[in-house]
Structure 1
Amino acid sequence: MPTISPAFRQAVKKLSDKEKEAVILKAARRDAELYDMLRFELQDEVTLEEVYEEAADKIHELLLNASGRSLTKALTKALRKAMKEIARFKRVTKEPKAEIDLHLYTLRLIFDNFTGQFDSYYKGFYTATARLLLRTIQLIRKKLHEDYHLEYKSELDDFLQQIHSRPKHLTVDLPQEFEVE
Protein backbone atom coordinates (compact mmCIF):
# COMPACT_ATOMS: atom_id res chain seq x y z
CA MET A 1 0.00 0.00 0.00
CA PRO A 2 1.65 3.23 -1.09
CA THR A 3 1.84 6.15 1.29
CA ILE A 4 -0.02 9.23 0.15
CA SER A 5 2.21 12.26 -0.17
CA PRO A 6 1.09 15.77 0.81
CA ALA A 7 1.51 16.91 -2.81
CA PHE A 8 -0.88 14.19 -3.94
CA ARG A 9 -3.41 15.23 -1.31
CA GLN A 10 -3.22 18.83 -2.53
CA ALA A 11 -3.70 17.72 -6.14
CA VAL A 12 -6.81 15.76 -5.15
CA LYS A 13 -8.20 18.74 -3.23
CA LYS A 14 -7.76 20.94 -6.30
CA LEU A 15 -9.86 18.62 -8.48
CA SER A 16 -13.42 19.65 -9.16
CA ASP A 17 -16.28 17.38 -8.07
CA LYS A 18 -16.81 16.25 -11.65
CA GLU A 19 -13.12 15.32 -12.03
CA LYS A 20 -13.13 13.46 -8.69
CA GLU A 21 -16.21 11.55 -9.81
CA ALA A 22 -14.52 10.58 -13.09
CA VAL A 23 -11.37 9.39 -11.29
CA ILE A 24 -13.34 7.35 -8.73
CA LEU A 25 -15.51 5.71 -11.39
CA LYS A 26 -12.47 4.90 -13.53
CA ALA A 27 -10.64 3.33 -10.57
CA ALA A 28 -13.74 1.36 -9.53
CA ARG A 29 -14.12 -0.04 -13.05
CA ARG A 30 -10.53 -1.27 -13.00
CA ASP A 31 -10.54 -2.83 -9.53
CA ALA A 32 -13.42 -5.08 -8.46
CA GLU A 33 -12.37 -5.00 -4.82
CA LEU A 34 -12.29 -1.20 -4.79
CA TYR A 35 -15.74 -1.23 -6.39
CA ASP A 36 -17.06 -3.54 -3.65
CA MET A 37 -15.48 -1.37 -0.95
CA LEU A 38 -16.95 1.83 -2.36
CA ARG A 39 -20.33 0.16 -2.85
CA PHE A 40 -20.32 -1.00 0.79
CA GLU A 41 -19.20 2.40 2.12
CA LEU A 42 -21.28 4.68 -0.08
CA GLN A 43 -24.56 2.89 -0.78
CA ASP A 44 -26.96 2.70 2.14
CA GLU A 45 -28.89 -0.20 0.62
CA VAL A 46 -25.78 -2.43 0.62
CA THR A 47 -25.63 -3.85 4.13
CA LEU A 48 -23.10 -5.96 5.96
CA GLU A 49 -25.52 -8.89 5.80
CA GLU A 50 -25.70 -8.67 2.00
CA VAL A 51 -21.93 -8.59 1.62
CA TYR A 52 -21.67 -11.49 4.10
CA GLU A 53 -24.25 -13.51 2.14
CA GLU A 54 -22.39 -12.88 -1.13
CA ALA A 55 -19.12 -14.11 0.40
CA ALA A 56 -20.81 -17.10 2.07
CA ASP A 57 -22.48 -18.09 -1.21
CA LYS A 58 -19.16 -17.91 -3.03
CA ILE A 59 -17.46 -20.06 -0.36
CA HIS A 60 -20.34 -22.54 -0.47
CA GLU A 61 -20.07 -22.76 -4.24
CA LEU A 62 -16.27 -23.16 -4.15
CA LEU A 63 -16.30 -26.03 -1.66
CA LEU A 64 -19.35 -27.93 -2.85
CA ASN A 65 -18.41 -27.70 -6.53
CA ALA A 66 -14.83 -28.87 -5.98
CA SER A 67 -14.08 -31.75 -8.31
CA GLY A 68 -11.16 -33.36 -9.99
CA ARG A 69 -9.21 -36.56 -10.21
CA SER A 70 -8.27 -36.22 -6.56
CA LEU A 71 -11.12 -34.74 -4.52
CA THR A 72 -8.81 -34.05 -1.58
CA LYS A 73 -6.48 -31.94 -3.72
CA ALA A 74 -9.44 -30.15 -5.29
CA LEU A 75 -10.85 -29.41 -1.82
CA THR A 76 -7.48 -28.08 -0.67
CA LYS A 77 -7.41 -25.74 -3.64
CA ALA A 78 -11.03 -24.69 -3.02
CA LEU A 79 -10.25 -24.05 0.66
CA ARG A 80 -7.36 -21.78 -0.35
CA LYS A 81 -9.72 -19.84 -2.62
CA ALA A 82 -12.28 -19.65 0.20
CA MET A 83 -9.64 -18.18 2.50
CA LYS A 84 -8.85 -15.57 -0.15
CA GLU A 85 -12.56 -14.72 -0.33
CA ILE A 86 -12.64 -14.27 3.46
CA ALA A 87 -9.57 -12.00 3.27
CA ARG A 88 -11.29 -9.98 0.56
CA PHE A 89 -14.43 -9.71 2.72
CA LYS A 90 -12.26 -8.48 5.60
CA ARG A 91 -10.63 -5.80 3.44
CA VAL A 92 -14.00 -4.60 2.14
CA THR A 93 -15.93 -4.51 5.44
CA LYS A 94 -13.28 -4.36 8.21
CA GLU A 95 -15.76 -6.20 10.46
CA PRO A 96 -13.97 -8.77 12.71
CA LYS A 97 -17.07 -10.60 14.01
CA ALA A 98 -18.42 -11.14 10.50
CA GLU A 99 -14.98 -12.36 9.38
CA ILE A 100 -14.96 -14.89 12.21
CA ASP A 101 -18.50 -15.95 11.30
CA LEU A 102 -17.29 -16.63 7.74
CA HIS A 103 -14.42 -18.72 9.14
CA LEU A 104 -16.93 -20.72 11.17
CA TYR A 105 -19.27 -21.06 8.19
CA THR A 106 -16.39 -22.52 6.17
CA LEU A 107 -15.49 -24.91 9.00
CA ARG A 108 -19.15 -26.01 9.29
CA LEU A 109 -19.24 -26.77 5.57
CA ILE A 110 -16.06 -28.82 5.85
CA PHE A 111 -17.06 -30.77 8.96
CA ASP A 112 -20.60 -31.40 7.71
CA ASN A 113 -19.61 -32.59 4.23
CA PHE A 114 -15.96 -33.53 3.87
CA THR A 115 -14.60 -35.22 7.02
CA GLY A 116 -14.18 -38.43 5.03
CA GLN A 117 -11.44 -36.69 3.05
CA PHE A 118 -9.38 -36.26 6.23
CA ASP A 119 -8.45 -39.95 5.99
CA SER A 120 -7.03 -39.60 2.49
CA TYR A 121 -3.38 -40.35 1.79
CA TYR A 122 -2.98 -36.72 0.72
CA LYS A 123 -3.07 -34.82 4.00
CA GLY A 124 -3.07 -31.26 2.63
CA PHE A 125 -6.80 -30.78 3.14
CA TYR A 126 -6.62 -32.13 6.69
CA THR A 127 -3.71 -29.82 7.52
CA ALA A 128 -5.33 -26.81 5.84
CA THR A 129 -8.52 -27.40 7.85
CA ALA A 130 -6.52 -27.65 11.08
CA ARG A 131 -4.75 -24.39 10.25
CA LEU A 132 -8.07 -22.70 9.51
CA LEU A 133 -9.40 -23.92 12.86
CA LEU A 134 -6.31 -22.62 14.69
CA ARG A 135 -6.55 -19.27 12.88
CA THR A 136 -10.23 -18.99 13.83
CA ILE A 137 -9.42 -19.66 17.50
CA GLN A 138 -6.66 -17.03 17.42
CA LEU A 139 -8.97 -14.48 15.79
CA ILE A 140 -11.69 -15.05 18.37
CA ARG A 141 -9.23 -14.55 21.22
CA LYS A 142 -7.60 -11.50 19.64
CA LYS A 143 -10.51 -9.62 18.05
CA LEU A 144 -13.61 -10.42 20.10
CA HIS A 145 -14.64 -9.60 23.64
CA GLU A 146 -14.59 -12.47 26.17
CA ASP A 147 -18.40 -12.62 26.19
CA TYR A 148 -18.32 -14.03 22.65
CA HIS A 149 -15.92 -16.80 23.65
CA LEU A 150 -18.70 -18.74 25.37
CA GLU A 151 -20.89 -18.42 22.29
CA TYR A 152 -18.31 -20.20 20.12
CA LYS A 153 -16.89 -22.67 22.66
CA SER A 154 -19.11 -25.72 22.06
CA GLU A 155 -18.80 -25.56 18.27
CA LEU A 156 -15.03 -25.08 18.38
CA ASP A 157 -14.65 -27.91 20.90
CA ASP A 158 -16.60 -30.19 18.55
CA PHE A 159 -14.33 -29.25 15.62
CA LEU A 160 -11.21 -29.78 17.75
CA GLN A 161 -12.49 -33.17 18.92
CA GLN A 162 -13.09 -34.26 15.31
CA ILE A 163 -9.60 -33.15 14.25
CA HIS A 164 -7.91 -34.84 17.21
CA SER A 165 -9.86 -38.08 16.69
CA ARG A 166 -7.88 -38.74 13.49
CA PRO A 167 -4.67 -40.76 13.76
CA LYS A 168 -2.78 -38.39 11.44
CA HIS A 169 0.11 -36.30 12.69
CA LEU A 170 -0.38 -32.54 12.57
CA THR A 171 2.36 -29.97 12.13
CA VAL A 172 -0.04 -27.43 13.67
CA ASP A 173 -0.18 -27.28 17.46
CA LEU A 174 -3.93 -27.34 18.16
CA PRO A 175 -5.31 -27.19 21.70
CA GLN A 176 -7.47 -30.08 22.91
CA GLU A 177 -10.32 -27.69 23.64
CA PHE A 178 -11.13 -24.00 23.32
CA GLU A 179 -10.37 -22.44 26.68
CA VAL A 180 -12.56 -19.57 27.80
CA GLU A 181 -10.62 -16.98 29.76
Structure 2
Amino acid sequence: MPAVSPAFRKAVKQLSDKEKEAIILKAVRRDSELYDMLSYELQELTLEEVYEQSADKIHELLINASGRSLAKALTKALRKSQKEIARFKRVTKEPKSEIELHLYTLRLIFNNFTGQFDSYYKGFYTASARLLLRTMQLIRKNLHEDYYLEYKSELDDFLQQVHSRKKPLTVALPQEFEVD
Protein backbone atom coordinates (compact mmCIF):
# COMPACT_ATOMS: atom_id res chain seq x y z
CA MET A 1 0.00 0.00 0.00
CA PRO A 2 1.54 3.33 -0.98
CA ALA A 3 2.30 5.99 1.59
CA VAL A 4 -0.07 8.94 1.59
CA SER A 5 1.72 12.03 0.35
CA PRO A 6 1.16 15.48 1.85
CA ALA A 7 -0.18 16.71 -1.51
CA PHE A 8 -2.76 13.91 -1.53
CA ARG A 9 -3.86 14.75 2.03
CA LYS A 10 -4.24 18.40 1.04
CA ALA A 11 -6.30 17.46 -2.02
CA VAL A 12 -8.60 15.27 0.10
CA LYS A 13 -9.11 18.05 2.62
CA GLN A 14 -10.15 20.40 -0.17
CA LEU A 15 -12.91 18.05 -1.39
CA SER A 16 -16.44 18.90 -0.43
CA ASP A 17 -18.41 16.59 1.84
CA LYS A 18 -20.54 15.46 -1.10
CA GLU A 19 -17.43 14.52 -3.13
CA LYS A 20 -15.93 12.65 -0.17
CA GLU A 21 -19.18 10.76 0.30
CA ALA A 22 -19.25 9.77 -3.38
CA ILE A 23 -15.66 8.51 -3.23
CA ILE A 24 -16.28 6.50 -0.04
CA LEU A 25 -19.44 4.92 -1.45
CA LYS A 26 -17.62 3.99 -4.67
CA ALA A 27 -14.74 2.45 -2.68
CA VAL A 28 -16.97 0.33 -0.42
CA ARG A 29 -18.86 -1.02 -3.43
CA ARG A 30 -15.56 -2.36 -4.76
CA ASP A 31 -14.10 -3.70 -1.52
CA SER A 32 -16.19 -5.79 0.87
CA GLU A 33 -13.51 -5.70 3.57
CA LEU A 34 -13.49 -1.89 3.49
CA TYR A 35 -17.29 -1.97 3.74
CA ASP A 36 -17.11 -4.23 6.81
CA MET A 37 -14.40 -2.08 8.35
CA LEU A 38 -16.42 1.11 7.90
CA SER A 39 -19.60 -0.60 9.12
CA TYR A 40 -17.76 -1.68 12.25
CA GLU A 41 -16.13 1.73 12.78
CA LEU A 42 -19.46 3.50 12.30
CA GLN A 43 -21.03 1.05 14.77
CA GLU A 44 -23.45 -0.28 12.19
CA LEU A 45 -22.05 -3.75 13.00
CA THR A 46 -21.15 -4.86 16.51
CA LEU A 47 -18.13 -6.95 17.44
CA GLU A 48 -20.43 -9.91 18.12
CA GLU A 49 -22.02 -9.65 14.67
CA VAL A 50 -18.65 -9.53 12.91
CA TYR A 51 -17.46 -12.46 15.06
CA GLU A 52 -20.58 -14.47 14.21
CA GLN A 53 -20.15 -13.80 10.48
CA SER A 54 -16.54 -14.98 10.59
CA ALA A 55 -17.36 -18.02 12.75
CA ASP A 56 -20.17 -19.01 10.38
CA LYS A 57 -17.86 -18.73 7.39
CA ILE A 58 -15.17 -20.83 9.10
CA HIS A 59 -17.76 -23.44 10.09
CA GLU A 60 -19.09 -23.57 6.54
CA LEU A 61 -15.59 -23.90 5.07
CA LEU A 62 -14.51 -26.77 7.31
CA ILE A 63 -17.76 -28.72 7.58
CA ASN A 64 -18.47 -28.53 3.84
CA ALA A 65 -14.94 -29.52 2.81
CA SER A 66 -15.11 -32.36 0.33
CA GLY A 67 -13.12 -33.84 -2.46
CA ARG A 68 -11.26 -36.92 -3.58
CA SER A 69 -8.88 -36.50 -0.65
CA LEU A 70 -10.64 -35.15 2.43
CA ALA A 71 -7.33 -34.31 4.11
CA LYS A 72 -6.31 -32.11 1.17
CA ALA A 73 -9.74 -30.45 1.08
CA LEU A 74 -9.53 -29.80 4.83
CA THR A 75 -6.05 -28.31 4.46
CA LYS A 76 -7.37 -25.95 1.81
CA ALA A 77 -10.39 -25.07 3.98
CA LEU A 78 -8.11 -24.48 6.97
CA ARG A 79 -5.99 -22.09 4.90
CA LYS A 80 -9.12 -20.17 3.90
CA SER A 81 -10.25 -20.15 7.54
CA GLN A 82 -6.96 -18.60 8.59
CA LYS A 83 -7.44 -15.94 5.93
CA GLU A 84 -10.90 -15.25 7.34
CA ILE A 85 -9.40 -14.85 10.82
CA ALA A 86 -6.81 -12.41 9.42
CA ARG A 87 -9.63 -10.49 7.74
CA PHE A 88 -11.53 -10.37 11.05
CA LYS A 89 -8.40 -9.00 12.74
CA ARG A 90 -7.99 -6.27 10.11
CA VAL A 91 -11.64 -5.24 10.45
CA THR A 92 -11.94 -5.24 14.25
CA LYS A 93 -8.40 -5.06 15.66
CA GLU A 94 -9.64 -7.12 18.66
CA PRO A 95 -6.93 -9.56 19.83
CA LYS A 96 -9.12 -11.51 22.29
CA SER A 97 -11.81 -12.11 19.67
CA GLU A 98 -9.14 -13.15 17.17
CA ILE A 99 -7.91 -15.74 19.67
CA GLU A 100 -11.48 -16.90 20.22
CA LEU A 101 -11.81 -17.49 16.45
CA HIS A 102 -8.56 -19.48 16.50
CA LEU A 103 -9.95 -21.61 19.34
CA TYR A 104 -13.27 -22.01 17.53
CA THR A 105 -11.41 -23.33 14.50
CA LEU A 106 -9.34 -25.69 16.66
CA ARG A 107 -12.51 -26.99 18.36
CA LEU A 108 -14.05 -27.75 14.96
CA ILE A 109 -10.92 -29.60 13.90
CA PHE A 110 -10.43 -31.61 17.09
CA ASN A 111 -14.13 -32.45 17.51
CA ASN A 112 -14.73 -33.52 13.91
CA PHE A 113 -11.61 -34.25 11.91
CA THR A 114 -8.90 -35.88 14.05
CA GLY A 115 -9.33 -39.04 12.00
CA GLN A 116 -7.74 -37.17 9.10
CA PHE A 117 -4.54 -36.71 11.13
CA ASP A 118 -3.70 -40.34 10.26
CA SER A 119 -4.08 -39.72 6.53
CA TYR A 120 -1.15 -40.36 4.21
CA TYR A 121 -1.35 -36.68 3.29
CA LYS A 122 0.11 -35.00 6.37
CA GLY A 123 -0.59 -31.37 5.38
CA PHE A 124 -3.78 -31.14 7.45
CA TYR A 125 -2.08 -32.61 10.52
CA THR A 126 0.83 -30.17 10.19
CA ALA A 127 -1.42 -27.16 9.50
CA SER A 128 -3.54 -27.99 12.55
CA ALA A 129 -0.44 -28.27 14.76
CA ARG A 130 0.83 -24.94 13.44
CA LEU A 131 -2.53 -23.31 14.15
CA LEU A 132 -2.38 -24.68 17.69
CA LEU A 133 1.13 -23.30 18.17
CA ARG A 134 0.13 -19.93 16.71
CA THR A 135 -2.88 -19.75 19.03
CA MET A 136 -0.70 -20.38 22.08
CA GLN A 137 1.75 -17.69 20.92
CA LEU A 138 -1.08 -15.18 20.43
CA ILE A 139 -2.47 -15.88 23.89
CA ARG A 140 0.95 -15.26 25.45
CA LYS A 141 1.59 -12.15 23.37
CA ASN A 142 -1.78 -10.39 23.46
CA LEU A 143 -3.58 -11.45 26.62
CA HIS A 144 -2.97 -10.88 30.31
CA GLU A 145 -1.67 -13.82 32.36
CA ASP A 146 -5.05 -14.22 34.05
CA TYR A 147 -6.47 -15.57 30.78
CA TYR A 148 -3.86 -18.33 30.59
CA LEU A 149 -5.74 -20.47 33.13
CA GLU A 150 -8.97 -20.00 31.20
CA TYR A 151 -7.48 -21.60 28.09
CA LYS A 152 -5.01 -24.05 29.66
CA SER A 153 -7.19 -27.17 29.95
CA GLU A 154 -8.52 -26.91 26.41
CA LEU A 155 -5.08 -26.25 24.91
CA ASP A 156 -3.57 -29.11 26.93
CA ASP A 157 -6.26 -31.42 25.56
CA PHE A 158 -5.47 -30.35 21.99
CA LEU A 159 -1.74 -30.83 22.62
CA GLN A 160 -2.34 -34.26 24.10
CA GLN A 161 -4.33 -35.29 21.01
CA VAL A 162 -1.55 -34.11 18.70
CA HIS A 163 1.18 -35.80 20.74
CA SER A 164 -0.80 -39.08 20.90
CA ARG A 165 -0.19 -39.47 17.16
CA LYS A 166 3.17 -40.97 16.37
CA LYS A 167 3.62 -38.85 13.26
CA PRO A 168 6.59 -36.49 13.07
CA LEU A 169 5.90 -32.76 13.01
CA THR A 170 7.90 -29.97 11.41
CA VAL A 171 7.03 -27.67 14.34
CA ALA A 172 8.07 -28.20 17.95
CA LEU A 173 5.00 -28.28 20.17
CA PRO A 174 5.29 -28.20 23.95
CA GLN A 175 3.79 -31.06 25.97
CA GLU A 176 1.46 -28.63 27.73
CA PHE A 177 0.48 -24.97 27.75
CA GLU A 178 2.62 -23.50 30.50
CA VAL A 179 1.17 -21.02 32.96
CA ASP A 180 3.86 -18.98 34.65
TM range (shorter): over 0.9
Query: How far apart are residue 146 of structure 1 and its match?
Result: 0.7
Match in the other structure for 2:91 = 92
CA distance in 2, matches of 1:179, 1:163: 16
CA distance in 2, matches of 1:165, 1:153: 18
Identity of matched residues, %: 84
Residue segments in structure 2 that go unaligned for 5+ positions in a row: none
CA distance in 1, matches of 2:88, 2:2: 21
Q: Once the two structures are superposed, what CA deviation does each residue of 1:44-73 show, in whole Å capped at 9, x if it has no partner? A: 341000000000000000000000000000
Q: How many residues align?
A: 180
Match in the other structure for 2:62 = 63
CA distance in 2, matches of 1:74, 1:45: 35
CA distance in 1, matches of 2:129, 2:99: 15
Query: How far apart are residue 5 of structure 1 and its match?
Result: 1.0
Match in the other structure for 1:13 = 13
Match in the other structure for 1:154 = 153
SS in 1 for 2:166: coil
CA distance in 1, matches of 2:150, 2:171: 24
CA distance in 1, matches of 2:5, 2:39: 26
Match in the other structure for 1:112 = 111
CA distance in 1, matches of 2:179, 2:26: 48
Q: Once the two structures are superposed, what CA deviation does each residue of 1:64-92 show, in whole Å capped at 9, x if it has no partner? A: 00000000000000000000000000000
Instruction: State the TM-score, normalizing by the size of structure 2.
Output: 0.99
- Residue identity opposite 1:62 in structure 2: L
Match in the other structure for 1:32 = 32
CA distance in 2, matches of 1:82, 1:161: 23
Query: How far apart are residue 29 of structure 1 and its match?
Result: 0.6
- Residue identity opposite 1:75 in structure 2: L
Q: Once the two structures are superposed, what CA deviation does each residue of 1:118-176 show, in whole Å capped at 9, x if it has no partner? A: 00111000000000000000000001111111110000000000000000000101010
Match in the other structure for 1:140 = 139
CA distance in 2, matches of 1:123, 1:110: 14
